[in-house]
Amino acid sequence: MDKQKLKELQGRLAEKRAALKEVFDQAGSDYDMEKVTSLEGDSAAKVEAIQGMNAEIDEIAKELEPIEKEAATLQRAHREAEAFVESRSGHPLPPRSEDALAAALTEPTKTLGELFIESGAGGEFKGREVELDGVDMNAALFQTSAGWAPEVTRTGRIVDKAVRPIQVIDVIPGGTTTQAAVKFLEEVLFTNAAEERGEGEQYPEAALKLADAESPVRKIPVFLPVTDEQLEDVPQAEGYINRRLPFMLRQRLDSQIVNGNGVGKNLLGFLNKEGVQTQAKGVDPVPDAIFKAMVKVETPGQAMTGPVLMNPLDWQDIRLLRTADGIYIWGSPSEAGPERIWGQPVVKAQVMPEGTAVTGDFANFSELAFRKGITVKVSDSHAEFFREGKQAIRAEMRVALVIYRPGAFCTVTGL
Does the pLDDT of residue 100 top 70, yes or no? no
Last residue within a domain, chosen from 41, 57, 87: 87
Same-domain check for residues 56 and 92 = no
Same-domain check for residues 73 and 47 = yes
Same-domain check for residues 174 and 248 = yes
Strand 356-360's sheet: what is its strand order? 277-280, 409-413, 356-360, 308-310, 344-348, 340-341
Q: How confident is the model at residue 135 (pLDDT cuts 50, 70, 90)?
A: low
Residue 202: inside a domain, yes or no?
no
Last residue within a domain, chosen from 70, 87, 104: 87
Same-domain check for residues 405 and 364 = yes
Does the pLDDT of residue 402 top 70, yes or no? yes
Distances in Å between the Cα of 195 and the Cα atoms of 189, 208, 395 are: 18, 17, 59
Ranges 36-50, 173-187, 193-207, 376-390: which has the least confidence: 36-50
Same-domain check for residues 56 and 178 = no
Residue 344: inside a domain, yes or no?
no
Residue 335: inside a domain, yes or no?
no
- From CA 61, how far away is CA 344, in angstroms rounded? 7
pLDDT tens-digit readout, 202-215: 999 999 999 999 99
Same-domain check for residues 76 and 221 = no
The pLDDT assigned to 338 comes to 81
Contact 404, 184 (CB under 8 A): yes
Same-domain check for residues 61 and 31 = yes
> Which of 31-40, 41-50, 149-158, 174-183 has the highest average model confidence (pLDDT)?
174-183
The pLDDT assigned to 106 comes to 42
pLDDT tens-digit readout, 139-160: 678 888 888 888 888 888 888 8
Number of domains in the chain: 2
- From CA 223, how far away is CA 203, in angstroms rounded? 64
Same-domain check for residues 259 and 178 = yes
Same-domain check for residues 287 and 358 = yes
Does the pLDDT of residue 366 top 70, yes or no? yes
Is the pLDDT higher at 333 or at 252?
252
Does the pLDDT of residue 105 top 60, yes or no? no
Q: How confident is the model at residue 96 (pLDDT cuts 50, 70, 90)?
A: very low
Residue 201: inside a domain, yes or no?
no
The pLDDT assigned to 154 comes to 85
The pLDDT assigned to 384 comes to 94
Residue 298: inside a domain, yes or no?
yes
The pLDDT assigned to 377 comes to 95
Does the pLDDT of residue 133 top 70, yes or no? no
Is the pLDDT higher at 187 or at 144?
187
The pLDDT assigned to 342 comes to 95
The 3-state DSSP composition of the chain as helix, strand, coil percent (nearest 5) reads 35, 25, 40
> Which of 29-33, 98-102, 219-223 has the highest average model confidence (pLDDT)?
219-223
Residue % of the chain over a pLDDT of 90: 60
3-class DSSP assignment, residue 146: coil
Residue 105: inside a domain, yes or no?
no
3-class DSSP assignment, residue 414: coil
Same-domain check for residues 92 and 60 = no
Same-domain check for residues 229 and 307 = yes
In terms of residue numbers, what domain contains 39? 1-87
CATH number at residue 262: 3.30.2400.10
Does the pLDDT of residue 123 top 70, yes or no? no
Residue 74: inside a domain, yes or no?
yes
Residue 226: inside a domain, yes or no?
yes
Does the pLDDT of residue 411 top 70, yes or no? yes
Q: How confident is the model at residue 75 (pLDDT cuts 50, 70, 90)?
A: confident
Does the pLDDT of residue 273 top 90, yes or no? yes
Last residue within a domain, chosen from 87, 116, 132: 87
**What's the whole-number mean pLDDT along residues 246-268?**
96
Same-domain check for residues 59 and 34 = yes
